[in-house]
């Protein structure tokens, strides 16, 4: 398989930490970012197989938590926001209690060491910073560094270049947070340095 490179990312974040009886397992599930591939309730996804015996929809999980005395669950923040769910503060790595909002999600992304992460694959769980939300995640889009169709790859990069430059407000309207400008600069630099034709020519040179 050819090498892959991150071309774009959009921040997502769960609104609160799940609790349960298998405390150590769940702590590891969160700490190591397992939920980013396997889903918030172990339902599985494109890159991670299903872990839960019974898959719950977000609506069913929300209803279960609401009807469980003292229950705390977690869902993607966009769902919590749009459905007016009660959220909680969490203590982050710096010992500060923070709210799930755009500022705390952006702080987690800004404090991550993207430049040290191969392919920009950075787990945003428990990032440093007094304002960082401790359970932030990024979605990734991947391209081959040596594409079989360079023209098509160039068109895809042009779209994401446009999205980076013009999509910030759209992301905000959808209750997401766009990548920080410093991260976008690193990503677009990687496009120029890493994505080449089989003959070594640059696919993206803007």
SS3 (DSSP) at 24: helix
Instruction: Say what the pLDDT of residue 20 is.
Output: 42
Instruction: Say what the pLDDT of residue 50 is.
Output: 63
Q: What is the mean pLDDT of each run of 10 residues along the chain (206 residues)?
A: 40 44 62 67 63 68 74 77 82 94 90 86 90 88 91 94 88 83 89 92 90
Alpha carbons within 13 A on the beta-carbon side of 3? 14
Q: DSSP letter at 101? A: S
- Helix 181-194 vs helix 102-111: angle between axes, to the nearest 10 degrees? 40
Query: For residue 93, how far is the Cα from the chain centroid?
Result: 18
Instruction: Say what the pLDDT of residue 13 is.
Output: 47
CA-CA distance, 17 to 167, in Å (whole number)?
29
Instruction: Say what the pLDDT of residue 155 is.
Output: 95
Residue 106, token pair as written in the block: 């952006």
Domain ranges of the chain: 1-13+99-206
CA-CA distance, 134 to 104, in Å (whole number)?
9
Q: In this structure, which CATH number among 3.40.33.10, 3.90.180.10, 3.40.190.10, 3.30.1490.440 belongs to the domain 1-13+99-206?
A: 3.40.190.10
């Amino acid at each position: 398989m050819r090498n892959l490179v991150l071309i774009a990312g959009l921040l997502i974040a769960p609104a609160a930490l799940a609790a349960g009886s298998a405390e150590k397992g769940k702590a590891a599930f969160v700490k190591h970012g397992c939920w980013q591939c396997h889903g918030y309730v172990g339902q599985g996804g494109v890159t991670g197989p299903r872990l839960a015996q019974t898959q719950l929809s977000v609506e069913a999980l929300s209803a279960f938590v609401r009807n469980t005395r003292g229950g705390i669950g977690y869902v993607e923040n966009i769902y919590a926001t749009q459905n007016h769910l009660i959220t909680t503060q969490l203590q982050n790595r710096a010992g500060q209690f923070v709210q799930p909002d755009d500022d705390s999600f952006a702080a987690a992304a800004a404090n991550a060491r993207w430049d040290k992460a191969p392919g920009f694959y950075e787990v945003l769980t428990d990032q440093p910073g007094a304002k960082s939300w401790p359970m932030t995640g990024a979605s990734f889009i991947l391209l081959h560094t040596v594409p079989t169709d360079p023209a098509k790859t160039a068109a895809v990069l042009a779209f994401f270049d446009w999205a980076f430059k013009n999509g910030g407000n759209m992301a905000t309207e959808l209750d997401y947070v766009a990548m920080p400008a410093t991260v976008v600069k690193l990503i677009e630099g990687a496009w120029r340095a890493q994505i080449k034709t089989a003959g070594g020519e640059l696919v993206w040179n803007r």
